[in-house]
Amino acid sequence: MAFNWFRKNKTEKNSAQEQAQNPEVQNQEYSEKDAPKPQEESGYLSRLKQGLSKTSNAFSGFFRQRQEIDDSLLEDLEMLLLSADVGVEGTKKILDELKGQIANKEISDANQVRSTLADYMHSLLAPYETKIDTAKAKPFVILMIGINGAGKTTTIGKLAAKYKSEGKKVMLAAADTFRAAAVEQLQSWGEKNSVPVIAQKTGADAASVAYDALEAAKARECDVLIVDTAGRLHTQNHLMEELKKVKRVLQKLDADVPHQTLIVIDAGNGQNSLRQAKEFHQAMGIDGVVITKLDGTAKGGSLFAVTEQLRLPVCFIGVGEKIEDLREFNARDFVEAMIYND
């Protein structure tokens, strides 16, 4: 039984957390001349905690008032999990596990319920923790898909900064040729990161932009090519056909491309976006998820619903609009930020 992991780890992490509260670290503003620091550890953890503070405050308040395991504890915890967007399935699994451990007398006070809860939630998310290895191919091609406003272009900007900071040669493809200003938005991320953006004008054929970009990325020996796509066309059908065409046309140049098809999901969008994600998955074969806006109105539990329903690897999470607000998904950090605010 490993339920003490979270409490033990919290003590170990205290100095990192104190460091995170250091205003010098937190107030780092990005300017074009400064090298972006997308992977800055302590700042990221504090932003993650801040983003999930609504949820962690609710859990902390709940466990502060409870010492004993009584009849109402699990009922109230059920409400708490549901209101944290964990979803019906996830909540049921968690409660069944806790009930089992209480019945077996493995846990006997509310504090142990909390750490068991944290450990079990971690065990639900950990299988989805996935890292992308861009060294597998050159150029490693990432196709970004998802509905309008989910955060595709912003995520691409953040990823470009991350890969560039790792010394990789990055190129971006502006294959969202549908929405006015989408090309400019990507170009502006390209400028910020000093990475080239292959683009044509709004209304151009998305597949042809992607094809040009892959040719250019090969010619210039880029390590990573990230292809932006449109989120909404006149009909959903039209969108799926356009995306399939992008993939087909890229594969004329290289049958293994894309190496990673990432769907970007806004954590605040709930069931509707999960339905759409399934449609994308059917059409495109998704092999990774990016969940954005965990700093917004979303409550952290939405990650349980996303993984439960899609059963796809979670590669990155977004906790803000800035370049440093994207991170590889780490189930432990995530659950800790969700359950503990103290």
Ligand X SMILES: Nc1nc2c(ncn2[C@@H]2O[C@H](COP(=O)(O)OP(=O)(O)O)[C@@H](O)[C@H]2O)c(=O)[nH]1
Q: Which is nearer to Mg ion, 113 or 182 (CB)?
A: 182
Query: Binding to ligand X by residue 38, rule CB under 6 A?
Result: no
Residue 273 interacts with ligand X (CB under 6 A): yes or no: no
Part of the chain binding Mg ion (CB under 5 A), chosen from 108-116, 148-156, 194-202, 312-320: 148-156
List the single partner that 268 binds among Mg ion, ligand X, none, CB under 5 to 8 Å by kind. Answer: none
Q: What is each CA distance from 301 to 89, 119, 308, in whole angstroms?
A: 12, 15, 11
Q: Is 270 in the site for ligand X (CB under 6 A)?
A: no
Assess 288 for contact with ligand X (CB under 6 A).
no
**143, β-bridge pairs:** 227, 261
Among 319, 323, 331, 339, binds ligand X (CB under 6 A): 319
Applying the rule CB under 6 A, the residues between 156 and 215 that interact with ligand X are none
Cα distances (angstroms) measured from residue 27 to each of 40, 43, 134, 340 = 12, 9, 31, 24
Q: Are 54 and 300 in contact (CB under 8 A)?
A: no
Question: Cβ closer to Mg ion: 152 or 293?
Answer: 152
Cβ-closest position to ligand X: 318
Cα–Cα distance, 146 to 150 (Å, whole number)? 6
Beta-bridge partner residues of 175: 229
- # residues near ligand X by CB under 6 A: 19
x/- mask, Mg ion, residues 164-183, rule CB under 5 A, reads ------------------x-
Site for ligand X contains 296 (CB under 6 A): yes
| Residue closer to ligand X, measured from CB, 149 or 270 | 149
Compare residues 26 and 67 and give the one whose CB is closer to ligand X. Answer: 26
Cα–Cα distances in Å, from 227 out to 39, 111, 167, 173? 22, 47, 19, 5
Give the closest residue to 164 by CA, choosing from 227, 224, 229. 224
In this structure, which amino acid lies at residue 108?
S
Sort 145 into a burial class: Cβ within 10 Å, 0-12 / 13-18 / 19+.
Answer: buried
Instruction: Out of 42, 153, 177, 341, name the contact with Mg ion by CB under 5 A.
Output: 153
User: Applying CB under 6 A, does 320 fall inside the site for ligand X?
Assistant: yes
Distance of CA 78 to the CA centre of its chain: 25
What would you report as the CA-atom Rg of the chain, rounded to the nearest whole angstrom? 21
| 153 belongs to the binding site for ligand X (CB under 6 A) | yes
H/E segment holding residue 253: helix 236-253
Is 150 a binding residue for ligand X by CB under 6 A? The answer is yes
The residue type of 339 is I
Residue 301 interacting with ligand X (CB under 6 A) = no
Of 264 and 294, nearer to Mg ion (C-beta) is 264
In the list 154, 276, 307, 341, the residue contacting ligand X (rule: CB under 6 A) is 154
Q: Which of 240, 316, 317 is nearest to 285 (CA)?
A: 240
Separation of alpha carbons 228 and 200, rounded Å: 13
Which C-beta is closer to ligand X: that of 139 or that of 157?
Answer: 157
325 touching ligand X, by CB under 6 A? yes
Determine the Cα–Cα distance for residues 110 and 99; give it in Å rounded to an integer: 12
Residues across the chain: 342
Beta bridge partner(s), residue 290: 264, 316
Is residue 111 near ligand X by the rule CB under 6 A? no
Tell me: does residue 154 bind Mg ion (CB under 5 A): no
Nearer to Mg ion, 44 or 178 (CB): 178
Q: Is 293 in the site for ligand X (CB under 6 A)?
A: yes
Residues 210-239 that bind ligand X (CB under 6 A): 231
- For ligand X, the binding residues (CB under 6 A) are 146, 148-154, 231, 264, 292-293, 295-296, 318-321, 325
